[in-house]
Every structure is written in C-alpha cells, then in structure tokens.
Amino acid sequence: MKKLNTKFWLGIIVALAFYGLVQVLLTIGIFNDVTRSMLLLVGVNVMLAVSLNLINGITGQFSIGHAGFMSVGAYTSAILTLDYDVPFVLAIIAGGIVAAVFGVLIGMPTLRLNGDYLAIATLGFGEIIRIVLLNTEYVGGASGLSGIPAKTTWTIIFFFTLFTVILINNFIRSTHGRACLAIRENEIAAEAMGINTTLYKVIAFTIGALFAGMAGGLSAHTFYVITPGSFNFLKSFEILVMVVLGGLGSTAGSIVGAVFVTLLYTYLREFPEWRMIIYSIVLILMMIFRPSGLLGKTKINFGKLGKKEAKGNGSIDSSTP
Amino acid sequence: MAASTAVLLDVKGASRSFGGLKALSEVSLHINKGELIGLIGPNGAGKTTLFNLLTGVYPPSTGKILLNNESVGGMKPFKINHKGAARTFQNIRLFTAMTVLENVKIAFHQHARHSLFSSMLRLPKHFKGEEEITQKAMDILKIFSLADQAQETAGNLSYGNQRRLEIARALAAGPKLLLLDEPAAGMNPNETRDLMNLIAWIREEFDLTILLIEHDMSLVMGVCNRIYVLDRGVLIADGTPVEIRNNPKVIEAYLGQEA
Ligand SMILES: Nc1ncnc2c1ncn2[C@@H]1O[C@H](COP(=O)(O)OP(=O)(O)O)[C@@H](O)[C@H]1O
Ligand SMILES: [Mg+2]
C-alpha cells in the first residue's frame, strides 16, 4: 500500500511538471493557434477515451453512442453559461451530471442487451439525441449554439483531465472496478459469485457518461460554436478508435490512443476524408500485428506506465453453465 | 453437528423444460445442515440443470426451491449467492485474464464495506476495505495451496489448479451450501483423492453443507452421507451409498448407459 502511494505521488509530480512546462511555453507564446487548440482537444479526447474504456474495455459492454453523452454535456453547460450566467466550472460539472442521468436512463433498459444489440441500441441513442437537438428551436436547430464563451484554458482542461484519469483509475483499481472486470471476463460466473451485474453495468455506464458529459462541456467552451453535427456517429466512432487503438481495457492505452488520434485529426484537418481512411488502415494494421492494442493488457500505473500482464491461455469455457 | 437435522435445502417438485425436452421432471429432494450429499446419474440426466435451478441461472418451470426456509426459485443468481448458496461449474468458468488472487477477491466483493465513493476518492475506508479483502483472499488461497500462485493469471494455471481455484472462489463467498459440479472431472486418480480429502476437510472447517455432482459412481461412495440418483430428468433413487450400490434401478440406469 505504501509503495502504491509513492508511485501515485510520483506520477502526480510528473504530470504537474508537464503542466508547468506547457504553461511556461504558452506564456512565452511559442505555440501557434493550431497547437494551442490541439492541446485543449487532447484533454477533451483523453477524457472521452478513458471514460469510454471504462464501459467498453473494462466492463466489456460494447457501446458506440459516447458522442451522445458528450452532446448532452455540451448543450447543458453551454445553455447554463449563455443563458443563466452559471459560473463556468459549475456549468461543466452540471453538464456531466445531466449526461450521467441520461446514462442511468439509457443504461437501465439497454444494458440487458448483449453484444451487437447493445451496440445498435447505443448507436440509436446517439442518433436520437442528435436528431432531437437538430429539431429543437431553443438550442438553435441545425445551426446550433454560438457565442459560447471560450473559457476552456490549458489549466482548466489539464486539471479536469487529470481528475478524470485519477478518479476512473481509482475506480478500476478497487473492488468495484474488479466487479466490472469480472463481468467482462465471465458474466455468468460474476453473477454466481454475488456480483449484481446489472447494477455494475449501469454504474460503469453512468460514470462513463458523467465524464463524457464534462468533456463535451469543455469542448463546447473551446470552439465558440456547437452544432448537432459535431456529435454525430463519426465522433462516437473516433472515440472508439482511440480506445481500441490504445488497447481495450487499458487506461494508459486510451490516453495514448487519444493523443494519437488528436494529432491525426489536427494535422489532417484539411483532408477530413483522409482521416477516416487512415483510421481504418491503422485499425486493420493493428488487428493484424497487435490485436490487443498498443498498450493492451497493461494497467496504468503512474510512474511506471505499461506493466505487462501475462495473457491467459488456459481458458476452458462454454456458453451454457 | 451430526445431530443437527434442520433442513437447509428443500426442493419440492421442481421441473424444467427446454422447448419440448423435459430436462427435469418433478424432482423433490432435501439436504440437512452439515450433510455431504452426492448427486449422480448418467450424462444428460439433468444434474447440471438442477444446479442451474438452485443457483438461479434459470427459474424452475414449476415447483419450489427453499433455501433456509426461504423460497429462492426464480431469484437472481447474485441474490441466491448472497443468501448462502455458491457453486462451481462443470465447464470451468474462471475470470481467466485476472490473477488468481483477484478471482477470489471477486467473491468477497459482497462483504466489502467501502463504497464506490471512498474508492474513487481513495478515502481511508478504501484502503482498509481492500486490505481486508486481500487478507481474507490470501487465507483462502493458502488452504488450497494456491498462495504461491496468487499473482499468476488464472488462465495460466494447470487444469487441476483451475478446478481448485473455482472451489476456493466459491468458498470465499461465504456460503452455507456449496454446490460442486463434477469437481474431479479431468483429474487423475491421485488428484481426485486429494481433492476428495480437501472437500471433506473444508466441510468440517467451514461448517458447510455440500451437494456434489459426480457421474462416476465409485467416487462419491466413499465420502457422501446420502446419494440421490437422477436418470433422464427423473429422481430414481436415494439412500446411503450401500443402498444405492445395490439398487437395481440404479444399476440398470448405469448399465443402460453403457449398452
Ligand atoms: N440451456 C439449455 N437449453 C437446452 N437444453 C438444455 C439446456 N441445458 C441443458 N439442456 C439439456 O438438458 C438435458 C440435461 O442436461 P444436463 O443437466 O447438463 O445433464 P448432466 O449435467 O446430468 O449431464 C440434456 O439433454 C441437455 O442437452
Ligand atoms: Mg452436467
């Protein structure tokens, strides 16, 4: 336990040093606009990837509607700061909470479904949210909300991202996170060993939605404008690519995946059609050469990233108990 | 202990059909506290199906299941586990990518006293709770001589050790009734003998009641107080090992299988 704490604080120190360095470079002014907004986008994407990994990678529930939760948080917080003058950080947190409520409401019925059916249901949820927003006059319909104050700074995004990673990682590395892992590993056995699998699926879904909602709020306050189109299926797919690329189930992998995808996104922004092609090629190459992702089967460990775990091979299992 | 005759498990006319197939018909049996009961029968007799009803994998089509005088038929599996019935699986179901220690820790989850919030915020309660779970899980692993492999990935264990880990995990849930589905399947005679001794020992040590499925009749004869025999979904006999060995219906069921 002592050892774990030392590692944890070491990681925090490294992270803070990184924060300070970037802050100094920003103050000196050597970054151009593109790099500056990329820094903010990295934070947003890390939050999205790490939170989706909790649902898809850790709990094994294949969800592809993450952009839906993101949009709920984005619209909620934007309305709060635009129309109600709610303090920025409170508006972001409120956006996360409203997204989490959606997480509970969507999760309870859909998480009874398995595999493909769950994927279709979450995809449907993301699209329904988008179409509702598209047809709601109050939130600007297709043209969305504009004039959102650009209050997301490097400091704000850094600390939100840091807390997201720490809180989700703390969850994963506890009896509650193990319960989620057990569901992924063998749902029937998890249930037979006393895990309320439905409850823990909803919990994972809700925590994932909470942080996706906050990420949405932060992104809304980065780019002045949000439209329903910013949260379409392609955005959900992009988040999924980050998680799969990094390695399902690995928090460190999700971070690496998010950074990689953000770099691609930024430097290929003039060629959006190339982006999807490159995502696809990267995914195909990975499935051939590294099916468990860049950091698959690794646990995030501040101070010691990428501790290897042996891969199980003695599985004896069948579909009926 | 031996004098106690309180009924722990009471199954009354339980049936289960799958489509047109009647996997179990009108099965009634009871187990007293502290007994070690054998459940035997040829392959496909419905033994595993009975376990699935007892542990809530699916509800009985008809009939009643009472655990400690409480009806548990149709209850969710995790609830039945909390009520005190834990099982192993004929086809081993470990959390293969998790460590041996983590596998056992999962069963202790229901006894954890630290909340989600204390874990996410790393409050002192979290560390205390996790420490307690680790301690208890290691204690169980020691009993099963698996402590040295605590950090090994469960899927990497030998077949025999995977079977033992499944029993260790079931025991960690703190059951009153332990249901073992062919725990010796695939083991060699030496391993089987050791396992039977271990089962007899944990039964004393943890004050357990055990229902043991085995399709090899000779194996259960030595250890069980009483034996139930299933054949094609019907309970055809029950009694002491000696009575079962000489029961013509049982002999016929087993000979019929070979013919
Ligand atoms: N989930 C299921 N769906 C359909 N048939 C089943 C199912 N489970 C068991 N059966 C059938 O019920 C019968 C009893 O199976 P089982 O209980 O596994 O027997 P045993 O454990 O005694 O070998 C078999 O004919 C089997 O094919
Ligand atoms: Mg069976």
Per-residue pLDDT tens over the stretch B216-232 = 777 788 889 999 999 99
Smallest Cα distance from A254 to chain B, Å: 19
3-class SS of residue A153: coil
Question: What tens digit of pLDDT does each residue of B98-155 get?
Answer: 999 999 999 999 999 899 999 999 999 999 999 999 999 999 999 999 999 999 999 9
pLDDT band at residue A283 under the 50/70/90 scheme: confident
Q: Give percent above pLDDT 90 in chain A.
A: 50
Q: Which residues line ligand 1 (CB under 6 A)?
A: A 320; B 18, 21, 23, 41, 43-49
pLDDT of residue B3 exceeding 50: no
Cβ-based neighbour number of residue B143 at 10 Å: 17
**Interface check A30 vs B, CB under 8 A:** no
Question: What tens digit of pLDDT does each residue of A26-35 get?
Answer: 888 888 888 8
Question: Looking at beta carbons, which residues of chain A come within 8 Å of B156?
Answer: 310, 312-314
Cβ distance of B173 and A181 shorter than 8 Å: no
**What's the distance, CA A72 to chain centroid?**
14
Q: The whole model's pTM is what?
A: 0.90
Distance from the alpha carbon of residue B176 to the mean position of ligand 1, in angstroms: 26
Residue A178: which of B96, B105, B110 has the nearest Cβ? B105
Mutate to test the interface with B, among A178, A193, A317 (most CBs of B within 10 A): A193
Cβ distance of B95 and A318 shorter than 8 Å: no
Range A88-105 average pLDDT: 96
DSSP summary character for residue B61 = S
Range A150-168 average pLDDT: 94
Q: What's the rounded Cα separation, in Å, for the pair B183 and B206?
A: 18
Q: Which of the listed residues B18, B50, B214 should we mutate to test ligand 1's pocket, taking the one with most ligand atoms within 8 A of CB?
A: B18
CATH number of A2-18+40-310: 1.10.3470
Q: Which residue of A has its CA nearest to B159?
A: A314
Is the sign of the CA dihedral A230, A231, A234, A240 positive or negative? positive
pLDDT of residue A82 exceeding 50: yes
Q: How many CB pairs below 8 A link A and B?
A: 144
Bridge partners (DSSP) listed for residue B17? B22
Query: Quick check: B38 and B226 in contact, CB under 8 A?
Result: yes
Residue A260: both structure tokens together? 């990689």
Which of A88-92, A301-305, B215-219 is the most confident on average?
A88-92
The interface predicted TM-score (ipTM) is: 0.92
**Average model confidence (pLDDT) for chain A?**
86
pLDDT for position A302: 35
Q: Where are the domains of chain A?
A: 2-18+40-310
pLDDT for position B155: 93
pLDDT of residue B76 exceeding 50: yes
pLDDT for position A168: 97
**What's the distance, CA B115 to chain centroid?**
29
- The CA radius of gyration of chain A, in Å to the nearest whole number, is 19
Cβ distance of A179 and B86 shorter than 8 Å: no
Residue A315: which of B96, B116, B129 has the nearest Cβ? B96
DSSP summary character for residue B12 = E
Nearest to A43 by CA among A55, A51, A33, A32: A51
**Interface check B139 vs A, CB under 8 A:** no
Is the sign of the CA dihedral B137, B142, B147, B153 positive or negative? negative
Bridge partners (DSSP) listed for residue B227? B38, B239
pLDDT band at residue B71 under the 50/70/90 scheme: very high
Query: Quick check: A235 and A70 in contact, CB under 8 A?
Result: yes
Question: Looking at beta carbons, which residues of chain B come within 8 Å of A311?
Answer: 97, 153, 155
3-class SS of residue B238: strand
Residues B242-246: contacts with CB under 8 Å, at least 24 apart? B244/B40, B244/B217, B245/B217, B245/B221
pLDDT band at residue A304 under the 50/70/90 scheme: very low
Bridge partners (DSSP) listed for residue B231? B234
pLDDT for position A311: 34
Stated as kind and residue range, the H or E segment containing B16 is strand B7-18
Q: What's the rounded Cα separation, in Å, for the pair B213 and B9?
A: 15
**Interface check B191 vs A, CB under 8 A:** no
Bridge partners (DSSP) listed for residue B29? B11
Residue B173: which of A1, A186, A194 has the nearest Cβ? A194
**Interface check A248 vs B, CB under 8 A:** no
pLDDT band at residue A79 under the 50/70/90 scheme: very high
pLDDT band at residue A305 under the 50/70/90 scheme: very low
Pairing of strands B226-231, B21-32: unpaired
Range A178-186 average pLDDT: 95
pLDDT for position B255: 67
Q: Which residues contact B79 (CB under 8 A, 6 or more apart)?
A: B56, B72
pLDDT of residue A48 exceeding 50: yes
Q: Which residues contact A3 (CB under 8 A, 6 or more apart)?
A: none
DSSP summary character for residue A228 = G
pLDDT for position A31: 83
Smallest Cα distance from B65 to chain A, Å: 17
Residue A295: both structure tokens together? 């950091």
pLDDT for position B254: 76
Cβ distance of B91 and A317 shorter than 8 Å: yes
Q: Give percent above pLDDT 70 in chain B.
A: 96
Residue B156: which of A314, A317, A318 has the nearest Cβ? A314
Range A111-139 average pLDDT: 87
pLDDT of residue B203 exceeding 50: yes
pLDDT of residue A102 exceeding 90: yes
Nearest to B233 by CA among B42, B54, B38: B42
Pick the more confident residue, A207 or A106. A207
Tell me phi and psi for residue A319, to 5 degrees: -75, -35
DSSP summary character for residue A296 = T
Question: What tens digit of pLDDT does each residue of B180-199 get?
Answer: 999 988 888 888 888 888 99
Label residue A246 exposed, middle or buried (CB < 10 Å: 0-12, 13-18, 19+): buried
Residue A249: both structure tokens together? 């189930």
pLDDT for position B24: 94
**Interface check A2 vs B, CB under 8 A:** no
